[in-house]
């Protein structure tokens, strides 16, 4: 185990782009906050050269969002690592011409303004395509470049609501859950943007042409409904909180322990169900755990709830650590980061504060593991405008 962990650390802490999978790609990033920056963080970690174009007067909120460490916001230090910060007043026509002068050398533009803003600045896709026909131009917005919602403001919680995700999540008596992560922003916007960009890069190898990618966070998070949406759209089955097997309608759920912690139970398959039945001494689970009748489901769920509520968190951790039945403790974020699994899989890495600084900051690692290629961690997010035009 120690040998594997050491090897993993070596593979994911390189400071060179020479063996990164996206070495050679060059990205101009005009985005702020979370969706665009997380997408370009992934590209940068995997070796792309990313120039983060920022306003010198309208500061990106992640730069001032507490908490702080090592003299800057932790969110900025993480989201903008491996990126060069170029401070540019885009309202100055001279700067627009300078930006256009870079385009011949760049592969990708990522922007997150409302539709029409980049066009008014003279930096729309058609403007830049005329300079570089191979340019891949990715626009990330809440509601896309077309449709009646395109100019409407929104946030993650709004996108999930309009996409129907919130409508069949949570509890019947308390409503949709307030999540600890931004699903529409990241799983919707960021990850689909990366997929779209890299798909366009591959297509460009065949056609020789770039293209415009329209990423709507609402469109993308709607697709995350996947199985529930299939049941609704094709099967005509209305979706509601706690009505399906996987959203609280069965014993596939979270259960409170006697000391107000939680265990997650996902023992759906027969072998796991029987193992859980034996561990909890619940014959009803073996008898009716697979039943699709609501009365049976509720009886089984109540039995599991009462059994787990009878003992403290530590007891169940010890019991289920020895069993392979898809039952795991609900950890705090700190507990997760400090866990054995996190250590073994290299979830956290030490990132130099600057390219020449000996001090470092602990940050989330790039989670993608390659057999030959590596991720890079050259430096944390730069100070605003730390990179100048002469450095490009």
Please provide the distance, in angstroms rounded to a whole number, between the alpha carbons at the two ends of the chain.
Answer: 43
CB hemisphere CA count around 385 (13 angstroms): 8
Tokens standing for residue 250: 């069965």
Give me the catalytic one of 127, 155, 296, 315: 155
CA 247 to each of CA 10, 163, 225, 242, 251: distance values in angstroms, whole numbers, following the listed order: 40, 16, 12, 5, 10
Query: What is the rounded CA–CA span in Å between residue 81 and residue 79?
Result: 6
Task: For residue 155, indicate whether it is catalytic.
Answer: yes
Tokens standing for residue 273: 């169900």
Beta bridge partners of 82: none
Task: For residue 156, indicate whether it is catalytic.
Answer: no
The helix, strand and coil proportions of the chain, stated in percent and rounded to the nearest 5, come to 40, 15, 45
Query: What is the rounded CA–CA span in Å between residue 74 and residue 41?
Result: 14
The answer to whether residues 209 and 277 touch, using CB atoms and an 8 Å cutoff, is: no
Q: Is 263 helix (H, G, I), strand (E, B) or coil?
A: strand
Give me the catalytic one of 185, 192, 219, 253: 185
Q: Show which residues are catalytic.
A: 155, 185
């Amino acid at each position: 185990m120690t040998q594997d962990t050491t090897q993993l650390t070596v593979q994911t802490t390189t400071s060179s782009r020479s063996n990164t999978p996206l070495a050679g790609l060059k990205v101009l990033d005009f985005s702020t906050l979370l969706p665009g920056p997380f997408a370009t963080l992934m590209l940068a970690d995997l070796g792309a050269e990313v120039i983060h174009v920022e306003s010198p007067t309208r500061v990106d909120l992640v730069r001032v969002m507490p908490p702080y460490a090592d003299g800057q916001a932790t969110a900025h230090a993480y989201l903008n690592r491996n990126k060069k910060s170029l401070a540019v007043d885009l309202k100055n026509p001279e700067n627009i011409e300078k930006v256009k002068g870079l385009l011949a050398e760049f592969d990708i533009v990522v922007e997150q303004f409302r539709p029409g803003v980049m066009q008014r600045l003279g930096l729309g896709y058609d403007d830049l395509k005329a300079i570089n026909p191979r340019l891949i131009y990715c626009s990330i917005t809440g509601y896309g470049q077309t449709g009646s919602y395109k100019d409407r403001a929104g946030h993650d919680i709004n996108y999930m609501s309009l996409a129907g995700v919130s409508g069949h999540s949570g509890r019947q008596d308390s409503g949709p859950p307030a999540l600890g992560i931004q699903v529409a922003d990241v799983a919707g916007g960021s990850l689909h943007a990366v997929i779209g960009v890299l798909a366009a890069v591959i297509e460009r190898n065949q056609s020789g042409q770039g293209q415009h990618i329209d990423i709507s966070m609402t469109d993308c998070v709607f697709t995350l409904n996947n199985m529930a949406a299939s049941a609704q759209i094709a099967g005509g089955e209305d979706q509601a909180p706690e009505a399906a097997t996987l959203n609280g309608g069965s014993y596939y759920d979270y259960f409170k322990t006697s000391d107000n912690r939680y265990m997650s139970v996902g023992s759906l398959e027969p072998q796991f169900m029987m193992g859980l039945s034996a561990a909890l001494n619940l014959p009803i689970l073996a008898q009716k755990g697979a039943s699709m009748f609501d009365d049976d489901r509720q009886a089984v769920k109540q039995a599991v709830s009462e059994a787990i509520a009878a003992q403290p968190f530590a007891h169940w951790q010890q019991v289920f650590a020895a069993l392979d039945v898809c039952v795991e403790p609900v950890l705090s974020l700190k507990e997760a980061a400090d866990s054995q699994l996190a250590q073994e899989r290299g979830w956290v890495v030490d990132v130099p504060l600057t390219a020449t600084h000996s001090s470092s900051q602990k940050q989330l690692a790039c989670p993608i593991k390659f057999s030959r290629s590596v991720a890079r961690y050259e430096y944390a997010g730069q100070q605003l405008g730390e990179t100048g035009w002469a450095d490009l």
